Amino acid sequence: MEKTIVRTEGLKKYYPACGTVVKALDGVNLEIREREFVSVIGKSGSGKSTLLHMLGGLDVPTEGRVIVDGEDLSKMNDEQLAVFRRRKAGFIFQQYNLIPDLSVYDNITLPQELDGAVIDRDLIDDLLKVLGIEEKKAMLPSMLSGGQQQRVAIARALAMKPAIILADEPTGNLDTAASHDVIGLIKVLAARYQQTVILVTHDQDIAQLGDRIIQMGDGKVLRGSDFHAAK
């Protein structure tokens, strides 16, 4: 039986806005198991992206705990969170978020460079080959299509072999064919490197590609909060 890799306990994120409080997350309890592919769906403003950011240590909760691979993120300071992000979490954003001045290769190796780690060239070459961007590695991101840029973002997210892959609307800017292509690659590579994927999407078809679907609404998990939940 697979162990739990992500667990949240009473997770809350409140924002002050125009004299009122926006409850982006309102007591989320969640468990995700190792190597699971989870899709998080919900309407705009339901809190799905906020949840993803909390799980990846990009944002800090107002209340509650986030435990990833045995580490309590709520007890970490900014420096520890940064180290956590580059070692344990791999992000894939809707806007790709590639560094425009760095080549494809340099973008992929950036987390390793930041970590001072020895670059696993075989792994990078493997990723480039699988993702079909081997020929593009010396190019700047602005010279690539949207789909190709997202492949670079996937390679970057996987290059450190993180415990979890956090994908925030990775197909939001892509057409249907490219979208399925990208999700397929994420799935194949996550399986290959035994990683857990948490995918935020508003696209029901894409969500269906996951092992489990978590539905969010008004900052709460409406459905699929634990791994026993049916798809």
Residue placing its CB nearer to other proteins in the complex, 119 or 229:
119
* Least distance CB 225 / other proteins (angstroms): 23
Residue placing its CB nearer to other proteins in the complex, 112 or 171:
112
Q: Which residue has the tokens 């580490």?
A: 71
Q: Which residue has the tokens 């969640």?
A: 30
Token readout for 125 is: 């070459």
* Least distance CB 160 / other proteins (angstroms): 8
* Least distance CB 221 / other proteins (angstroms): 20
- 144 CB neighbour count, 10 Å cutoff: 18
Contacts of residue 183, defined as CB under 8 A and 6 or more positions apart, other chains included, come to: 170, 171, 199, 206, 209
Residue placing its CB nearer to other proteins in the complex, 39 or 94:
94
Residue placing its CB nearer to other proteins in the complex, 33 or 53:
53
Residue length of the chain: 231
* Least distance CB 144 / other proteins (angstroms): 11
Residue placing its CB nearer to other proteins in the complex, 33 or 85:
85
Please give the backbone phi and psi of residue 221, each rounded to the nearest 5 degrees, phi first.
-85, 120
User: What is the pairing mode between strands 164-168 and 89-93?
Assistant: parallel
* Least distance CB 223 / other proteins (angstroms): 25
Distance CA 123, CA 67 (A): 28
- The answer to whether the CB of 65 falls within 8 A of the CB of 11 is yes
The helix-helix angle for 104-115 and 121-131 (nearest 10°) equals 140
For other proteins, the binding residues (CB under 8 A) are 53, 58-60, 78-79, 82-87, 91, 93-95, 97-103, 105-106, 109-116, 119, 137-140, 142-143, 156, 173
